[in-house]
Amino acid sequence: AQSVTQLGSHVSVSEGALVLLRCNYSSSVPPYLFWYVQYPNQGLQLLLKYTSAATLVKGINGFEAEFKKSETSFHLTKPSAHMSDAAEYFCAVRTGDDKIIFGKGTRLHILP
Amino acid sequence: DAGVIQSPRHEVTEMGQEVTLRCKPISGHNSLFWYRQTMMRGLELLIYFNNNVPIDDSGMPEDRFSAKMPNASFSTLKIQPSEPRDSAVYFCASSLDLAENTGELFFGEGSRLTVL
């Protein structure tokens, strides 16, 4: 069965520092992978998605993620963190039976 | 274009009462999902519909939960009777059609349920 694992329920970085949020997936079929962001008291919104085209995917707000099949990873990065990036981030995978399954989430804290 | 609309945004009820959560998906979207979010369990998929037909309800916790989609523009999630452990934020999300696209979901703002 397909699943995603996010390493670290909380990550803190200083403003201006590199953001790295980790996601590993398991999938028996070529995966569709997603990163979503959730701001307080809001629903989730799509940051970026991988659909078997380019392995480096660029999303909104300066985020990008790289699909690495050999490592079964889809880590999210941003070169320079901004205070407005503080939120919860979810990695997700589309399963073979068309479900979208989410990881447990990583809360990103930005330190001034 | 309006996004996914959920109501009520907040609901406080007493144990044993019936709760009905409502969702209006984005017009033209054929797939609709109900998720539950808690601190302990994260985002759990409860049920999803395609073309108004329930496809998979294996995530529905027990018989107290039921969901319907009588038409393409409306869905309900009902809990009867409610229990304190049902307290959570319930999200509805819609998608164009999972079978024909990448499956990007559009979420509503959620319904926060508190059962006392």
Question: Which of B33, B100, B104 would best serve as a mutation to test chain A binding (most A beta carbons within 10 A)?
Answer: B104
The one-letter code for the residue type at B12 is V
The structure tokens 């009588």 sit at: B70
Cβ separation B42–A102 shorter than 8 A: yes
The pLDDT of B82-97, averaged and rounded, is 94
The structure tokens 């969901």 sit at: B67
Chains A, B: CB pairs < 8 Å: 57
Are B21 and B77 in contact, with CB atoms under 8 Å apart? Answer: yes
DSSP state letters, A51-72:
-SS-SEEE-GGG-EEEEETTTT
**What are the tokens at B59?**
């995530």
Are A110 and A14 in contact, with CB atoms under 8 Å apart? Answer: yes
Question: Which of B10, B89, B105 would best serve as a mutation to test chain A binding (most A beta carbons within 10 A)?
Answer: B105
Cβ separation B50–A98 shorter than 8 A: yes
Q: What is the mean pLDDT of chain B?
A: 93
The structure tokens 């995978």 sit at: A93
The one-letter code for the residue type at B41 is R
Answer whether residue B62 shows pLDDT above 70. Answer: yes
Answer whether residue B103 shows pLDDT above 80. Answer: no
Answer whether residue A94 shows pLDDT above 90. Answer: no
Helix, strand, or coil (residue A85): helix
List all residues 6 or more positions away from B41 whose beta carbon is below 8 Å from its beta carbon: none
Question: Which of B98, B109, B112 would best serve as a mutation to test chain A binding (most A beta carbons within 10 A)?
Answer: B98
Q: What is the pLDDT of residue B3?
A: 93
Give CA–CA dist B8/B60, Å, rounded: 20
| CA-based nearest distance A20→chain B, Å | 21
| CA-based nearest distance A107→chain B, Å | 12
The pLDDT of A67-78, averaged and rounded, is 94
Q: What is the mean pLDDT of chain A?
A: 92
Of the pLDDT bands very low, low, confident and very high (cuts 50, 70, 90), residue A46 is: very high
The pLDDT of B86-106, averaged and rounded, is 86
Q: What is the pLDDT of residue A92?
A: 94
Answer whether residue B100 shows pLDDT above 70. Answer: no
Does B85 or A30 have the greater pLDDT score?
B85
Residue of B nearest to A96 (CA): B99
Residue of B nearest to A91 (CA): B43
Of the pLDDT bands very low, low, confident and very high (cuts 50, 70, 90), residue A27 is: confident
**Neighbouring-strand partners of residue A63:** none
Nearest to A101 among B45, B98, B102 (CB): B45
The pLDDT of A77-85, averaged and rounded, is 96
Nearest to B103 among A42, A90, A100 (CB): A100
Give percent of chain A above pLDDT 70.
Answer: 99
Q: What is the pLDDT of residue B1?
A: 63
Answer whether residue B76 shows pLDDT above 70. Answer: yes
Q: Which residues of B68-78 are buried (b: 16+ CB within 10 A; e: fewer)?
A: ebeebbebebe
Are B46 and B34 in contact, with CB atoms under 8 Å apart? Answer: yes
The pLDDT of B19-46, averaged and rounded, is 94
Nearest to B56 among A42, A94, A99 (CB): A99
